[in-house]
Chain A
Amino acid sequence: NAGVMQNPRHLVRRRGQEARLRCSPMKGHSHVYWYRQLPEEGLKFMVYLQKENIIDESGMPKERFSAEFPKEGPSILRIQQVVRGDSAAYFCASSPGPGGPYYNEQFFGPGTRLTVL
């Protein structure tokens, strides 16, 4: 069973460009979470999605950031008009729906390291 997959692993963008980060959850998982890790910091929750639904986006910056988890395909975290302060590692995690033995346990991907020049 493949783990959580994220791509690209490294992404370099110039200020003002768009960044698109992709996350494929573990097979059978229907919940996806995005976190941001700034240097020397812990992970900060950004958004929690289920298929075709945003459940909690209270950790997302109000502007330029959006996330989706379509019926088919990976979850996408999109950052428009990137600025240097967006440089960070972005991690995706997935968990199964309620009822399974690992309910509420999250499995993390390797992260995408975004560098904004």
Chain B
Amino acid sequence: ETGVTQSPTHLIKTRGQQVTLRCSSQSGHNTVSWYQQALGQGPQFIFQYYREEENGRGNFPPRFSGLQFPNYSSELNVNALELDDSALYLCASSLAEGRDEQFFGPGTRLTVL
């Protein structure tokens, strides 16, 4: 059984550019969530996808968007990058049932210059 994987590990972009981050869920999990973690802070929920539909969203603007594919892999897209978007982006997969634990990937470190 493979765990949650994310790519790339690190990424450097400039302000105004667009970025796509990728996540492969843990085997058997049909729900994926994305979190943004600024330095020294706890992760902040961006959104969750269940069976290819957005299932919940945190307080992030529409330029943060996502996709979930039939094989339950997922993408996070961020348009018009801002300096404050520099953070660790974490993907977590889980079963749809409410109280199951979420399994996090190692994250993608995004730096916006």
Chain A partners chain B: no
